[in-house]
A and B are shown apart, each in its own frame.
Chain A
Amino acid sequence: MPSNEHVRFIQGNEACVEGALYAGVEFFAGYPITPSSEIMEHLARRLPRRGGKFIQMEDEIASMCAIIGASLTGRKVLTATSGPGFSLMQEALGYAVMAEIPCVIVNVQRGGPSTGLPTQISQGDVNQARWGTHGDHAIIALTASNHQDVFAMTVEAFNMAETYRTPVVLLFDEVVGHMRERMVLPEPGQIPLVERLRTSVPEGVDYHPYLPREDGRLPMSDFGGVHRYNVTGLYHDMWGFPSDNPKVVHGLIRHLVDKIENNVDSIARYKAYYLEDARTVMVSYGATARSALHVVESQRRKGQKFGLLELQTLWPFPYDIVGEACGRAKQVLVVEMNMGHICAEVKRALTNAGNVFLINRLDGVFISPTDIRQALRLIAGRGV
């Protein structure tokens, strides 16, 4: 049993804050928006106590830009928002992809499009996280269904941002963000942290900020340090200077995509419940995975071979893992609160896409076990 001082009873947004602090966040810039504002409120209090910086910017565009600037000075950086703000961040998110700036962006999803349903749950931004910014690129997006995992995935997001020199999106949702539940604060060191990899190239020796090492990582040099280089959103050479040389352009876009897509297995995080002999496999993530697990456990108690694959890494999509988990199932039920963002990917992962069904809700009401059971009856041809 964990000692009392490590047990917290907090909102998911606070669990995210605890995870970010554990990971060593040093800079936050943001703009208030429901249902994510608690993240910035807590960091406004917590960061200055430990020498970190907090700033409320004039909008989400500026927030995203400010964290990129701060990251270049060597800090671990975070911003948090929800749908409309996430839309505003897309251009600078693409900049962070292109210029390979480690940063973490939280999107506590609410109903969209537009202002939508500000205080109610949706998971409608899954494809926006993947393709919201223009141009070919790869992205990492993580999610979680409970506060312990919100904490862990937040730490993972910072680790992956440093490892791959990339923005990482945390796609939480209103239910997880606002709900209060128990969370046990891990001891320092319990979850390993990835720190900024800085170059060992000494002063006066040519440093290449955009030349990957053999292991694919790119050591950085902080602004203010001895290496003066250029950072740009244009296609650029290994020194960071603009280039439209076709070889340079091709090499960079391949590098940006491959550094993520070639590491799908290392980036994939998921939880498997009762999958060994499952004939019906549910695939879900975020808060909806809680309702799915509720149904899976009650079906198991009735002797029905149900299982759940809870995805925590949404992008890059772990096609092989999903194929393995669902390949032998009689039917696959994707439970999500959108019009089938992940369901489409699950179908792509499987040879028999005809067995894949979407169970969703789009009206801002959190999908309940009753909703799922009703969908099960419909799929089985038994009516409501």
Chain B
Amino acid sequence: MRLLSTLSAVLLAAATSLAFDPTAYENTQIQRTYELGGAATNVQTVYTVRALKDSLGGYELVLSSPEEDVEDGTNYWEVMQGGKVWESLTVQSLSDGRKTVTIPLEPAPVGGPITFTLSQVLVHHSHPLPASIGQDDEQYLMFETNQTMVESLYSTRKETIKYRYAMRTSPSKKIISHSPAPEKYIQVGANASKKSGGTLTLGPYTSVPPTVSLSSAGVLTREPGFSMSPLKIHYPFEEPVKTIEKLVRLAEVSHWGDNLNVEDHIRLVNTGAHLKGQFSRIQYQMARFRPTFPAQIIRNIIYPLPPHSHSAYYYDVIGNISTSNFRPSHPTRGGPAILELRPRYPILGGWMDEFTVGWDMRLGDWLRSVKGHESQKVLRVPFMTALPGVVVDQAELVITLPEGARDVNVTVPFPVDAIEHSTHKTYLDSIGRPRITIKKRMCVEKHEQDVYVTYTYPFTAQFQKVFTVGIATAVMFAAFALAKRLDVRISKVAKVVG
């Protein structure tokens, strides 16, 4: 229930001035690793922290630098310790919308080092360079960042930053070039930066003073002496850069059918290097005979579905797309069902495809009744499906509850942009179904978490439709019976003289 507690923490935390002491802690070591990818870049920071004073509040962890535009990025973060997610952390909302996380380190004795890891994701920080390439050319991306230092409210003894390009298909691929690293705070004698194969290392920096400070008004300000200089890294990327511009997931609950139907409307764009010139089918078909197939072309998408999903479908506005394979999960052992989607046409750089994927699931796996209160239900719906390396610019989850559901409550696992309640009328409805719309921008793999909906669904509500249809039929029957017996002729003798 980390999610719940996080949420409540968010709600509870006020943008008040914080009593904190920058000399209470010291980072003995910070190591940050950027995994250079396509649309999403994973960032992992390992902190080793030492308390200098006794119980002076928790360690304040800064999630973003003051210059960064928080509105633009994903606000995903996670703190882990010893391989486990650290739960019940207090989030402080600052007055400018930024957040810091208080990590309760009070019980730690003075001097004892504590290690924890912060995971974050940067989205759309790499762009293709050259911006357009030929159909068979290789794709290169340029990663750009202003952040060559880890933001901290405390001083740091030793700090290393690594930019790593994960080599997948051909390990010989290397980072082509990078701009010079800022030289400040680098120990004399050490290299400013070190490039080896797919990794670029900055630092180690030693004895770094705090990079930011927190004013009493709750505003994060840059400490003087730190100026941000951009760093650019140019690296090969042998995969398509996939971005889902818009994802709308419709989930519909049916108690009668014991079914949870999920339908994803997806607009997928290949945001890698644009295609220079025109697409040549013959070149594409001939590429099969070459050792490396142009990797920046999206040829298929593996779409994992929850266990025991069935009746999957795949279509777009002009009808069914016949090129797909569905592998259901093992009937006894379970495991995810796999939907292999092949778009109608290969999606080259800059091209777009829009389609709908849907499937059915047993409601019993996703819905529980509260013990003792059988009419109270708890529904679990996955917010989205994680596709490796894919960024969803605009995600929307629409949950439609059965007609007659009341007291609807939604619990989200992470902060979202909006939660809206509305009523939806469809087949055989008389009063309409409650509908919940949850919106969030910039989602990544890690947002594949469950949304919980609790609602009351009385037993009698199940018979609402039966009742409606029964009444309608009876009225129709009566009307026909009446019409048949009614004589509307003007005169009984209506014979025309021939």
* A and B part of one assembly: no
User: Which residues of A line the B interface, CB within 8 A?
Assistant: none
